[in-house]
Structure 1
Amino acid sequence: MGLLDTYLSDRERSILQKRRSKISGAFFLLFVVVIVMSYIIQNQLSKENTVLMTQDDIKSLKVNLALISVFVLGYLGWILFKLIRPTYISYLDLITDLLAIKNNVHNSDRPLSSRENTLLRFRELNFAVNNAVLYATITDENRIAYISKKFEEYLGHKEDLTFRKFEEVLTYKHNQHHKIRKILTTATGELVNKELRLTNHQGEIFWIEMSIINMDNLKNSKRRLIVCHDITKRKHAGLEMQRVSRSKFVAEVQSQKDLSQQIMTAQEDERKRIAKDIHDGIGQMLTALRFNIDGIDLTNHTKAEESLTSLKEVFGQLIKDVRAVTFSLAPPELTDHGVASAIRKMTNMVGNFTGHKVLYENVSEFDKRLDNNVEVNIYRVVQEAVNNALKYSESEYILITLDHTDSYLKIKVEDEGVGFDPKNVTNTVEGTGNGLRFMKERVNYFGGELRISSEPNKGTTVHIVVPIDK
């Protein structure tokens, strides 16, 4: 009967429950009548009474008792008939509907009634939920009243789990039992969601998201519906992402450390180069000036005039070298007139000092001022590109071109030299690889773009794109 009750409505189940109570009462009344009659018969037919009664009295008593018994049994039978018949008819109608649904699977021509449709949908839903959802109903003592087939398969249990403790079914570890009991005890709201890391009875770790829904049944005893979702894959994916992110972060930190070390090394090399230029160039000239001045013989006017003429030439070269060194360190043209003017000045000085053909062309006559740090980084990138071309290209000329739009400044440094493979150079940690890496770091600082086009024996072109704030 319990299985059939699941297909009845709440009203029908309530009516049937009342009828069952009346039937139980009727049987109890019948039991009391039988006991009373047995007592009367036993009392009347006792040895003490039989001495005082004649055979006619005994027959008369038996007839009266028989009539009373027939009346009582008939009355009770009539009551039972009135009570059982509606219940029997309800179950009979229900069984008939279920059989009709079953037969309708093989006979699709007959339309289903409204009740049959409802029962069919209920059966389909119940089958789908039972075989697809991890859910269970537990009592106020955390014992399982019902558990879905899918949940049983998921937990790996083959025996009947009804009336077993819910936490003992989920995991075998006692500390996890306590945690689950605490969650179930404190879950006083209508809906409570929790994520749990558990160990199943096979010793495997799994994650579930548990939703606890509190309900009240007809007897006002609290029951809870537990709906679970397996989130093990999601948790493992999250942990893997955290591990990858952590590894990536460590790699980036290490990369920044390496870059900082390389920058400090490059700065130290630059200081050594400047010190060498000052020592070998300016220092030697100052020493020569000192000796020339000490060697001037004022009594010999002819030699004195020759020495002064030589001193003028040395002083002129000394001034040029000092200007070259100071311009290389901090070009005043950049601060006073902007990056376009500074690049033009640099091309003239490099051409004069090295003897190479270094050409400059400002196609769009760009003369806007940018942020000071942006201009410094642009200048250093162009300076590095020109120095690389002078050192490695073996080209007869170097061409620097400026062009701009409303949104971007475009700079090209071209040569027709030996060229190289950009991938091989940028992946190295020695030679020009560091120079190109620093160029990219500077371009990234102001949100620009650096692109190098080069092929062996076909020259090299460095493209620099700088965003311009309107």
Structure 2
Amino acid sequence: MSEKPKYEKLVRYYLIALCAIATSIILSQILVQKFISEQKNDSRVINLSGRQRMLSQKISKCALLLGDSTQSSQRNKYLQEFSLALSDWRDTHLGLKNGDGNLDIISRNSKTVQFLFQNIEQDHLAIVRAAENIIHKLNENIQAPTDSIKEDIDQIIKHESAFLKGMDMIVFQYDDEAKTKVTNLQGIEIFLLVISLGVIMFEIFFIFIPSAKTIKKTFRQLLQSEQKSKKMTLELSSLYSSLEQAYQDLLEVDVDVEDFTIFAKCKANGDFTYFSDKFSKLMEFEDNTPQNLFKWLQEQGYEGAYLEKIQEMMPYGKTWSGEIKVINEMGDFVWLKVNITPTMGDSGELETLMIIATDETEKKEAEAISQEINRERIEKKVKEQQFRSALILEGQEEERKRISRDMHDGIGQLLSAMKFNLEGIHSVNTDIERNKLKTSKDLLKNVIKEVRRISFNLTPSALSDYGIVPVLNKFCREISKLSDLQVSFENQTGFLTRLEGKVENNLYRICQEAVNNAIKYSEAKEVKITLSHNSQYLNLEISDDGKGFDMRKLEEKGHFSASGHGLFNIRERANFINGQCTIFSEKGKGTKISINIPLD
């Protein structure tokens, strides 16, 4: 486990430990319940055994009173009491020997008790016979003389002492056997306690400690992946900054450009009078040559008003310079750097327009190709970087889910099992041990609560089961309990369907980051999270009433462009789900973060 911990092995050890704990608890409960049942029977038996002594003495007393009384009313009263005592005494004696459901007695007499009952059986039968004779005689004649029942009374008195002595021995034997059972149960409880403690030690050394090492190692790997993510984010920022430099480099592409030459001549109104061979070849004019310069440029797509301004410049002897993009007769683009120079006559009037130009097509095509190559290369790097960042974020979420699942399903369940095991321990003798046991139970409850809190913060299981709304509700309640900050959540969406998993995960992480920032820096008393939507966008808004901050200063310090800062992480997560993040803050007026996500 310490060298190569696996979840499957952890589950197997967990099941073994849980079965051992469950077995010890079940055995302990069976023994306790059995002991309680036997104790109830033993208590009943000892009670009835002691009652037998009282009844035998009552029988003797009533017999003597019947012999002394002469009045019929007194004899009837004593006879009735005598009969009831005899009936109870006889039935209880049989019940103690053989068991009796009516008396709630189960016959579990040991051989010693059975032997003691045999010793007093003759005395019991003698008393029963004598008592029955007295009852029979008095029922026939309530005024029967005392001499007629004196022999039976003497018989009862004679055997009472031996019966009482034997009954005392039976009661003492019942008591000794009950004490022996208690002593045996204490030994068994101690044995089960040792087994339970052994199971707990097994769990600590073979499950909890290796699991803690595994989680610690996983957290370390997660931190390393986060550092890689930060590094890649910085590289992405540098790529964006180098994009501008790449465009600057494109301007330095060295392509030979020919010298300016006369391409054509025109009249004052723009009608062509001459085409150079180079111009005709470049534009591939054959029989379909253009008639007018300005009409030709208008046909090429240039606006008439712009061309009219050029025409208006010519009579004043002003030269127009610029680049034009035209299409030759084969449909290819041609870039020309053109100077339209007017020539004046002796009278100062405009006579000719000289079109002096050079072909820049190769240079423009080279610049376009170079720019496209650089743009594709940069876009490729940016996409690769974004893809890596997305994979890292998804990997982090999966790792959080795995750690959360392992803590909840593995360590959480084992801690619960240990809690049940500790609560099943009852055989504690001293106050110090009781206090230690109580302290251990309280500590274990706090550990279970903390494990559940960490598991929820990593990735709440309800996020994948029920969605973002229930989880944000629970998140706000938990934060309000654990901090002085009052966090509330308002759902204004009324969605009937779930969002994508990555959208819900990132929305939850954004809320976590924003609330943590409010706790650490804003000195806010209340934070409100609102989820709403319209036909096109889902809106998440987190606002607080804290002290706010100066947006410009944070931008200058790089809080919005460097990883490791909460606001930067919020923007990155919003971009990851194609969302638009807007942050409003002003000193003394709190902060509001708004995330808009398109609903496709």
Same fold (TM over 0.5): no
Give TM-score scaled by structure 2 length. 0.35
Q: Larger relative CO (CA 8 A, sep 6+): 1 or 2?
A: 2
**When the two structures are superposed, what TM-score results if normalisation uses the length of structure 1?**
0.43
